[in-house]
Structure 1
Amino acid sequence: MTGRHWLAAAALAALCAALPSGGAKADLLDDIMKAKKIRIATDLAIPPSGMVDANMKPTGSDVETAQLLAKDWGLELEFVQTTGATRIPNVQTGKADIIISTLSVTPERAKVIDFTKPYAALQSVVGCLKSLPIKDWADLKGKAIAVSRGTTQDTTLTNMKDRDLRIARYDDDATMVTAAVSGQADCVATSATIVNQIGVKNPSRAFEPKVLITNFDLAIGLRQGEPRLKEKLNEWISANLKNGKLNEIYRKFHGSDLPAEMRS
């Protein structure tokens, strides 16, 4: 090896040694701030969390939460329309930066994405027509229960093989609610808030929560390996739980306060 070649090789070795193991990695928080825009996956077909108003503008508790975040960070907000089944793929593929869309925290989801601390809560129930005499799981045996595909309710009921439940899957919450409103489904598995919305759309088919599935924490979802973004989101959530802004948004659309332990 000539002297010139030796010096070039030494310089290259020194440069490689100075680089972090695995090479430089892009940081999503830096990318968001540089673009001055945040892309948030939100389902706009699950009132009152996400919907469009009479002027076709996004509204709802998740919508206002996303808007508050973008405003506080001084960013332009881009909504990425999603469904229950596409929320997680949206951040995994880089189509969206984060998810604010009634995303409950589960061990299965935590294997593929990261979660912030909770910003809201969700009561998951089986709701049926008020006229149906249903009080517990035994009363639901053999009855068709509509669920939105890919949701925690879908997963939970699918795993209840010993209860002999009939599950009717719909692509999203909007079509599931339409099935209930139109008489195609007499029972649905979803949030208590959505159950109560069915009677608003069709008073002659008022639904009510019948059986509690579980209580879920709702958190912001993001792709794995973004600790700086997760930390900044957690700081924002803590500040807005403490100042009451997140509770105000929740009460405005859901008619109740967030759990006391979440607000303290």
Structure 2
Amino acid sequence: MKRSLTLALLAATALACAGQAARADLLDDIMKAGKIRIATDLAIPPSGMIDGAMKPTGSDVETAELLAKDWGLQLEFVQTTGATRIPNVQTNKADIIISTLSVTPERAKVIDFSKPYAALQSVVGCLKSVEAKSWDDLKGKTIAVSRGTTQDTTLTNMKERDLKLARYEDDATMVTAAVSGQADCVASSATIVSQIGVKAPARPFEPKVSITNFDLAIGVKKGEPKLIEKLDAWVEQNLKNGKLNAIYKKFHGTDLPANMRG
């Protein structure tokens, strides 16, 4: 009886280990397929957007293209929003995320991150004519935010600030609200804040209050150590050779932080 129980336990352990090994082979599946599916938001210029020829472009787009080229893979973009980026990899609709994905402790509980490949300055930006130099100055003002972003989470948790938030489904809708006059303040990246004035020169926005700075990394579902290791090596190599910095500077107008550059 004891021997049978021991054999049963060993068999169960073996099956569990085999299942775990199978789940940790996403990299092998990608390389065998010769294609990588990357979740990227194409409505957050200049990180992701559609150009006049209806082709994807932007810093995240070119980062994804460089990765696929270096690995010798066909690239398939999985269009996403801030709120659907993580579910896309959790449900196997995408292999990885390259879409202004900030590294946060909350997200690290549900997905894994590569080494950071870029950075994001998170701010509350308002019309230049709005007087706002501190959080106290923002009391009573409605701040537009894209649902599911780090800005949404951070400002929601700042209950002591008594902030009024207007949530939009994605960054494109939020920017449209600012351009059309529906919102005089937005919580987003400093880059997106500057883009509002490009789209509507009569309504120039500028950063008013800093929220925080975030590292941007490639997101992968939990339990894929081989894929993370390969991504880390790729990021490190392309920071050292300057390619990732060149992409960032091309679209954002500034270099990556000095501590990230090789």
Scaled by the length of structure 1, the TM-score of the pair is 0.93
Partner of 1:23: 18
Q: Judging changes above 3 Å, is the alpha-carbon distance between structure 1 residues 30 and 144 closer, same or farther for their aligned structure 2 residues?
A: same
Moved more, 16-25 or 238-247: 16-25
SS in 1 for 2:61: helix
Amino acid at match of 1:189: A
Partner of 2:51: 53
For residue 142 of structure 1, report the CA deviation from its aligned partner: 1.1
In structure 2, C-alpha distance between the alignment counterparts of 1:131 and 1:232, rounded to whole Å: 48
For residue 21 of structure 1, report the CA deviation from its aligned partner: 4.1
Partner of 2:246: 248
Partner of 2:140: 142
Per-residue Cα deviation, 1:123-172 (whole angstroms, up to 9, x for no partner):
00000000111111010001100000000000000011111100000000
Per-residue Cα deviation, 1:76-103 (whole angstroms, up to 9, x for no partner):
0000000000000000000000000000
Q: Judging changes above 3 Å, is the alpha-carbon distance between structure 1 residues 128 and 17 closer, same or farther for their aligned structure 2 residues?
A: closer
Quote the RMSD (CA, aligned, Å).
1.6
SS in 1 for 2:18: coil
For residue 19 of structure 1, report the CA deviation from its aligned partner: 4.4
Residues 1-264 of structure 1 aligned to structure 2 (within 5 Å):
16=11, 19=14, 21-24=16-19, 25-26=21-22, 27-264=25-262
In structure 2, C-alpha distance between the alignment counterparts of 1:223 and 1:20, rounded to whole Å: 21
In structure 2, C-alpha distance between the alignment counterparts of 1:133 and 1:259, rounded to whole Å: 29
For residue 18 of structure 1, report the CA deviation from its aligned partner: 10
In structure 1, C-alpha distance between the alignment counterparts of 2:13 and 2:161, rounded to whole Å: 60
SS in 2 for 1:133: coil
For residue 17 of structure 1, report the CA deviation from its aligned partner: 8.9
Per-residue Cα deviation, 1:194-230 (whole angstroms, up to 9, x for no partner):
0000000000000000000000000000000000000
Scaled by the length of structure 2, the TM-score of the pair is 0.94
Q: Which runs of 4+ in 1 moved over 6 A?
A: none
In structure 1, C-alpha distance between the alignment counterparts of 2:27 and 2:226, rounded to whole Å: 7
For residue 45 of structure 1, report the CA deviation from its aligned partner: 0.0
For residue 23 of structure 1, report the CA deviation from its aligned partner: 2.6
In structure 2, C-alpha distance between the alignment counterparts of 1:212 and 1:232, rounded to whole Å: 34
Moved more, 197-206 or 15-24: 15-24
SS in 2 for 1:204: coil
Amino acid at match of 1:184: Q
Partner of 1:5: none
In structure 2, C-alpha distance between the alignment counterparts of 1:198 and 1:170, rounded to whole Å: 15
Per-residue Cα deviation, 1:21-65 (whole angstroms, up to 9, x for no partner):
443432100000000000000000000000000000000000000
| Residues matched between the structures, number | 253
For residue 234 of structure 1, report the CA deviation from its aligned partner: 0.2
